[in-house]
Structure 1
């Protein structure tokens, strides 16, 4: 099952932020890092694919249309994790996961739902949170629980908006390793918006780099990130180096200086 995106456009009022986005088929098993500076449309793109924001063009998973389809009709195959943390309610973490599993997979028996909850708690390494109330969890712990809620239904498409933003380095690595494993073993597709370019280079099979003005670049990491496109997207001087294991790394040297106003320039 592949993800197709053709002619997708997004606007805020009269301002266009994504223009005519058309990608090659994103095949099952792909982990796509969605990169770009603030305000360029990463979150809006994920929301549009999840059916939460109006857009032009088409997004389709296999034979099923996504864009313009309300989220409740996508629920069995698509999981969307927003930037906002799960609400700090009085439910136990285990209860919230069981409710998420039941909502996504109502056809499963109670023991099958419980098995899914226990499996995702173990895979993420958060069994110790199971019997804690959500309103007593830290922001990072609630973010982990939000990811568990997205994964527990075993969706074919994961739309994750900055899923590591509240996490320390240990949990960032664990979360992205878990998502990558889900893509590799279950042939799921994940689109992950993030700001950490080096984490994206390490875990993602493909990158979608959005630049101001509607420009974009898609492909395998080695084809997408270079000095010219880092300058275009982020207004920085940067270079790609490789560590002793051959892993590519982005080294940012400096931000580009804005051109001085003409009236302030020397004759």
Structure 2
């Protein structure tokens, strides 16, 4: 049987932002089905690392592989939720916004049909956002929008989910529900999760690994420790 490729593989990777060094000669291998929390002070490279995994930020040195492919070649297998999100049109409903991203469809050209309807229903159910999807985005709280944006990242059933501060704005109840759901998806589907989060105490019981960016290094440890 062929070896299953790592969900994320870094081989002697160096990342920088302009002249500023962020990560130097880092090695990393994360398995499919793993739930990893990414931590580090602001400005130390968390978002840059995520963008590199998406093929949006080139490595200065080394090799990055996502699910056995170059990052750009793996884009259709990755669900991504950025930290900051501008609303393209606040009067849009959550349903219309999410539908427009189905299978990478460009905004404004959703491929309506049974397949989209089924996938949309399943994604909204995962984040408890069914009722929210019918309301204009401008009328929702920050935490409610986050649940819709997470449903959007889950829409195409990604093999890797990359989440930049997805819990911001959510109350403790919804943070725990979302973390429970993500852990279950990892176990049940083999989807891998890489998620940045400032409040580590709430995340540790659900995650497998803690990935710390500090002093230009990546350090992987057991999340329970």
TM-score, normalised to structure 2, is: 0.87
Q: Please, what is the CA RMSD of the aligned residues?
A: 2.0
User: Per-residue displacement from partner, 1:194-227 (whole Å, max 9, x unpaired)?
Assistant: 111212311111111111x2133213224xx5xx
User: Per-residue displacement from partner, 1:14-65 (whole Å, max 9, x unpaired)?
Assistant: 2211111101x31110001001122211111111111121223222123311
1:225-244 equivalences under 5 Å are: none
Is the Cα–Cα contact under 8 Å of residues 53 and 66 in structure 2 kept in the other structure?
Answer: no
In structure 1, what is the Cα distance between the partners aligned to 2:204 and 2:184? 16
Residue 202 of structure 2 corresponds to 199
Structure 1 residues 110 and 122, CA, compared in 2 at 3 Å: closer, same or farther? Answer: same
1:33 aligns with 2:41: no
In structure 1, what is the Cα distance between the partners aligned to 2:138 and 2:88? 4
Structure 1 residues 96 and 153, CA, compared in 2 at 3 Å: closer, same or farther? Answer: same
CA apart distance, 1:86? 4.8
Is the Cα–Cα contact under 8 Å of residues 94 and 130 in structure 1 kept in the other structure?
Answer: yes
Higher Cα Rg: structure 1 or 2? Answer: 1
Describe the SS at the equivalent of 1:64: coil
Is the Cα–Cα contact under 8 Å of residues 8 and 58 in structure 1 kept in the other structure?
Answer: yes
Choose which of 122, 138, 144 in structure 2 pairs with 1:119.
Answer: 122
Structure 1 residues 102 and 48, CA, compared in 2 at 3 Å: closer, same or farther? Answer: closer
In structure 2, what is the Cα distance between the partners aligned to 1:88 and 1:109? 20
Residue 83 of structure 1 corresponds to 83
1:52 aligns with 2:56: yes
CA apart distance, 1:129? 0.8
In structure 2, what is the Cα distance between the partners aligned to 1:13 and 1:75? 24
**Looking at both structures, which has the greater relative contact order when contacts are Cα pairs under 8 Å and sequence separation is at least 6?**
2
CA apart distance, 1:88? 5.7
1:15 aligns with 2:16: no
TM-score, normalised to structure 1, is: 0.74
Structure 1 residues 109 and 99, CA, compared in 2 at 3 Å: closer, same or farther? Answer: closer
- Number of equivalences: 214
In structure 2, what is the Cα distance between the partners aligned to 1:78 and 1:195? 23
1:31-180 equivalences under 5 Å are: 31-56=35-60, 57-66=62-71, 69=72, 73-87=73-87, 89=89, 90-103=91-104, 110-180=113-183
